[in-house]
Structure 1
């Protein structure tokens, strides 16, 4: 008798429905599995057999064959343990095949039948819904990941006995299926890490704050450069407080990444605030971009929808910094493996902070102890192609005493209101386009969204030739100017908007071209 159970295989955060077929026939007693299987799936036949035995079910000495299709996909992970066990039980007649239809089943089995949690449950349920399934059986440990799905019946089970009982029509009592649970108010930034951080903590630095607002409004990349102790890190750490709240759709996309990474726990079934990731400069390439023997998202994917902060940028290995080139352009990262490619989202805002030299005080020659060669070598760790991908570069200089003791500064709440005005303008402008922010404008879209009058065109040409800009830098200046115009609530880009955008390109030119 052939039984069929459906499950899902993840590649990155995208899923594919897997059809698990089990057949029992006469012949030499054996348990074989086919379908391009990783070692952990091949080994699962022993876990399945013993788990079934320990639930009191007797498997007659028959020839058991389990096939996982499509046959051309390599199946990995332990999520297929439970569906394989249920398919085998159904093939022996212990379960009705009819009740196994139209349901996705995932879960890892132990020898005593306990079902352990797995990673990636949230994107699994999402894939199930996209493929027309209405029910999903998941490990009880992952139950919180199921409550954000409307029109889905989620059945969390703690052990194989409960799973069997469900298909026999018995009640699961307190573990009965979960219902959709969503309150828009829950998506407010309420992290204790953000509660005590506010832009009002930072005295002075109006130019750096202005750059932070522009970056947040248009989702632009930002570089803060200056001597130690001037507030670069403080500004970066507070940028999350001026970003708009997550929408439900954004929360789902980010939560899928964290689910695959195994970073969602029982108390936190979804991500409710924008990520802020600040890896140490000793981070490995794999930890930054993702991958590994068992592929996992890296820091650039975990920062998707939020901020990736690289403090002391030149202290990172140059090769590690260069890995950011492709993700910064394509907003995703591709990991090439022997048996296929995996891609993860990488739609993050890059915020970097750095000193201009090893001692930190260049170009102040009264305090700087570095030679010209040392300064050039230090700045050379950040290549021109990386700088071209950073829209805004601003100096954060030491404050005078009277700036330190002056009155109240604008709060994060004040700056956030300004950012939200510009974001609302962009939302309305791009509602029929496949972009959300000014930083995503490309190609022919510049004609529609960044038109210039003759005076602005002449000014732009003059500055382009003066700074000897690349085409990439030219387009980034237009994007920044578009954001500045939105902050001023101007429909057309004006000359002053372009001038300010060029100002943020002039700082990196000052250091990398003319600084020494």
Structure 2
């Protein structure tokens, strides 16, 4: 007898329905076709043990299983439950009423219990689009899949529950999630709060500007100055995610298996890879393509601590994703695109010894060592960082001050108001959402200067030996500062403050 059961495969962050055709006929053998990987080929051992523990068996006949479309490679152990139900229905050990209405996925343990799968959210979205009535999957993934309205989601603990559902009409408990409640839960209680930061008012100001305009930022300072502490608090002042951003971010984390037992992600991600990371781990890819760190940071922050310690090849592969806000992985047999719209926050010591320009510390690095250290950061990469800020150690008087600083919640209110102005400004430009994304054409349109401001910028570039690449960055940052002040036009004060945030462009740093 021939039976069809439906599963799903995730490629990139999108899902495709897989039709599992099970035919049982005369003879003896077990044939699994349709480009399955080793994990799927080994499933017959797990299925046999699971069925035996639940008083069923794999029939001693010729079993032919096709996973269609047959030219698409399938991977992972999530098809165990799909194959098992197909074998039971095709061998008439259980009934199969309504089987075509459900998508079924889950990894089997030898006793028949189910282990969680990856990609539950994109699979659920695809199942709804293709008109399935319900989605049966492991209980640990149910909350995530139930985010999708209009699809019945049933989280089950073992194969016996699924068998009884189809064979004996025993109802399954539907998982229902209040999306609004999940989405807005605990938004005003960040784990890392700027209220805990002593002093560093100028640094807080620069990070507020970076958050308001979506600008990439680099922090330069000696060890112990607080660079990492400040970077960890940046997500707490970014505007709350929209529902679409939350769904897209959750999809990316879902395909890597990081959303088990959780619902929708309502906090912006913060990723901080170690400086030994490889190119593939950063941008994504591999034999079976997976999102890299830059995609895991989508709609959030990517923090690169000790930037010059990263391999130059790793830093260079970020240039295109920083510009296009997506990364395309191309191989001989596949091409996959992952979104990667993130804020880059980098930190570095000003010299190999860490104390260059510190009057209280001896200079231990020679000019040649300094040049070699700083040259690890290429000009094209630096072109994509709008704000450079020097971080100095906090004096004892401020460290011992018990007064709380301004909270992240209060700062975020100003940032959100500035972002709303930008949303209104760019409403007719679908690819532009905030100031950092402006190209030369938009800069000329939205960052016009009066004569006095233009003279100030010209004099600053001449006196400070600022490079040409600093010009557009200063204008974009000035536009954000004006938005924070709710000013329609950029004034000289905005330009003057923006000029301060180009440390590495000055003669004597990177040349």
Q: TM-score, normalised by structure 1?
A: 0.87
1:255-266 aligned at under 5 Å gives the runs 255-266=250-261
CA distance in 2, matches of 1:83, 1:449: 56
Does the 8 Å CA contact 1:187/1:247 hold for their aligned counterparts?
Answer: no
Q: Structure 1 residues 124, 396: closer, same or farther in 2, change over 3 A?
A: same
CA distance in 1, matches of 2:239, 2:139: 33
Q: Shift of residue 178 of structure 1?
A: 0.9
Q: Pick from 470, 479, 484: which aligns with 2:481?
A: 484
Match of 2:351 in 1: 357
Say whether 1:283 aligns with 2:277: yes
Match of 2:2 in 1: 2
Does the 8 Å CA contact 1:218/1:423 hold for their aligned counterparts?
Answer: yes
Match of 2:240 in 1: 245
Say whether 1:113 aligns with 2:112: yes
CA distance in 1, matches of 2:114, 2:397: 64
CA distance in 2, matches of 1:81, 1:458: 70
Q: Shift of residue 408 of structure 1?
A: 5.6
Q: Shift of residue 132 of structure 1?
A: 3.1
Say whether 1:68 aligns with 2:67: yes
Unaligned runs of 5+ in 2: none
1:361-372 aligned at under 5 Å gives the runs 361-364=355-358, 367-372=362-367
Q: Pick from 386, 390, 393: which aligns with 1:391?
A: 386
Q: Structure 1 residues 510, 309: closer, same or farther in 2, change over 3 A?
A: farther
CA distance in 2, matches of 1:387, 1:10: 35
CA distance in 2, matches of 1:57, 1:9: 27
1:223-372 aligned at under 5 Å gives the runs 223-266=218-261, 268-364=262-358, 367-372=362-367
CA distance in 2, matches of 1:171, 1:485: 63
Match of 1:142 in 2: 141
CA RMSD of aligned residues (A): 3.0
Does the 8 Å CA contact 1:277/1:302 hold for their aligned counterparts?
Answer: yes
Q: Structure 1 residues 22, 271: closer, same or farther in 2, change over 3 A?
A: same
What SS does the corresponding residue of 1:40 show, helix, strand or coil? helix
CA distance in 1, matches of 2:233, 2:251: 25
What SS does the corresponding residue of 2:18 show, helix, strand or coil? strand
Say whether 1:177 aligns with 2:171: no
What SS does the corresponding residue of 2:506 show, helix, strand or coil? helix
Q: Shift of residue 424 of structure 1?
A: 1.8
Q: Pick from 371, 375, 397: which aligns with 2:370?
A: 375
What SS does the corresponding residue of 1:482 show, helix, strand or coil? helix
Q: Over residues 60-111 of structure 1, what are the superposed CA-to-partner deviations in whole Å (9 max), with x where a residue is unaligned?
A: 5433221112222111111112112222333233455551123211111233
CA distance in 1, matches of 2:291, 2:283: 7
Q: Shift of residue 446 of structure 1?
A: 4.4
CA distance in 2, matches of 1:356, 1:285: 25
Q: Structure 1 residues 446, 126: closer, same or farther in 2, change over 3 A?
A: farther
CA distance in 2, matches of 1:9, 1:298: 19
CA distance in 1, matches of 2:108, 2:95: 21
CA distance in 1, matches of 2:358, 2:186: 40
Q: Structure 1 residues 497, 33: closer, same or farther in 2, change over 3 A?
A: same
CA distance in 2, matches of 1:84, 1:451: 64
Does the 8 Å CA contact 1:484/1:497 hold for their aligned counterparts?
Answer: yes
What SS does the corresponding residue of 2:20 show, helix, strand or coil? strand
What SS does the corresponding residue of 1:7 show, helix, strand or coil? strand
Q: Over residues 402-448 of structure 1, what are the superposed CA-to-partner deviations in whole Å (9 max), with x where a residue is unaligned?
A: 66667664332331221111122223334452443222234654465
Q: Structure 1 residues 34, 448: closer, same or farther in 2, change over 3 A?
A: farther
